């Protein structure tokens, strides 16, 4: 297996294990066994358990932004360039929910890690602080110039999305995420 393919395997396996157990429940031994290599082999590719976590998050972000850009018909660079992509907030959120509804294990991964990283000593604490600022900026920009307080609206929408996704993760049979989001978004943002 090439080094690139092996790293992708390690990151994919680690994503699933972290989603199941959280970061604190992850061992490098478990990752190594699932990949058919030694712990030293895992460390060769990622450096340390903390670096593995950051690599998993960066890998998932790249995958998710590419999918989101495809759904919206824009280039992925729009999300990190700081430029206004002229994507309305409702369209952005609808695409996020559509993408997330197809990958509950990834939504679970981020939900678990986001909660764990509330502890400042967690290796992903700074990552999630930065990620939330980025999301709030993106949402506030997408809210448009006609909104009285785009940052507050961005906070409310982000909180609503997080909340409805948690309900869905807990009861995927009883909660249809896209439908539940549309109903909530109609009340929050208008149809």
3-state secondary structure (DSSP) of residue 87: coil
* Beta carbons within 8 Å of 104's beta carbon, 6+ residues apart: 168, 169, 172
Q: How far apart are CA 76 and CA 66, in angstroms?
A: 5
Task: State the pLDDT at residue 77.
Answer: 80
pLDDT in tens, 67-105: 999 999 988 888 875 555 688 999 999 999 999 999 998
Average confidence (pLDDT) over 104-113: 89
What does pTM read for this prediction? 0.83
Task: State the pLDDT at residue 75.
Answer: 85
Task: State the pLDDT at residue 52.
Answer: 95
Burial 89-118 (b: 16+ CB within 10 A, else e): bbebbbbbbebbbeebebbbbbbbbeebbe
Domains of the chain: which residue ranges?
Answer: 52-189
Residue whose pair of structure tokens reads 């110039």 in the numeric block: 145
Residue 67 · residue 52 · CB < 8 Å: no
Average confidence (pLDDT) over 21-31: 91
* Beta carbons within 8 Å of 114's beta carbon, 6+ residues apart: 128
pLDDT in tens, 123-162: 999 999 999 999 999 999 999 888 999 999 999 999 999 9
Residue 38 has pLDDT above 60, yes or no: yes
* Beta carbons within 8 Å of 85's beta carbon, 6+ residues apart: 72, 74, 78, 79, 142
């Amino acid at each position: 297996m090439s080094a690139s393919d092996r790293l992708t395997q390690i990151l994919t396996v680690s994503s699933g294990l972290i989603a199941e157990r959280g970061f604190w429940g992850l061992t490098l031994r478990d990752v190594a066994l699932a990949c058919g290599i030694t712990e030293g082999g895992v460390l060769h590719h990622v450096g340390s358990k903390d670096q593995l976590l950051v690599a998993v998050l960066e890998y998932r972000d790249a995958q998710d932004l590419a999918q989101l850009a495809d759904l919206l018909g824009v280039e992925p660079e729009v999300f990190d360039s700081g430029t206004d992509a002229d994507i309305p907030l409702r369209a952005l959120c609808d695409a996020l929910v559509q993408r997330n509804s197809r990958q509950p294990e990834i939504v679970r991964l981020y939900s678990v890690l986001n909660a764990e990283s509330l502890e400042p000593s967690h290796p992903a604490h700074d990552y999630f602080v930065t990620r939330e600022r980025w999301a709030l900026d993106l949402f506030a920009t997408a809210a448009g110039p006609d909104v009285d307080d785009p940052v507050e609206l961005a906070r409310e929408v982000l909180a609503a999305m997080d909340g409805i996704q948690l309900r869905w993760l807990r009861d995927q049979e009883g909660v249809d995420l896209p439908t539940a989001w549309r109903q909530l978004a109609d009340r929050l943002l208008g149809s």
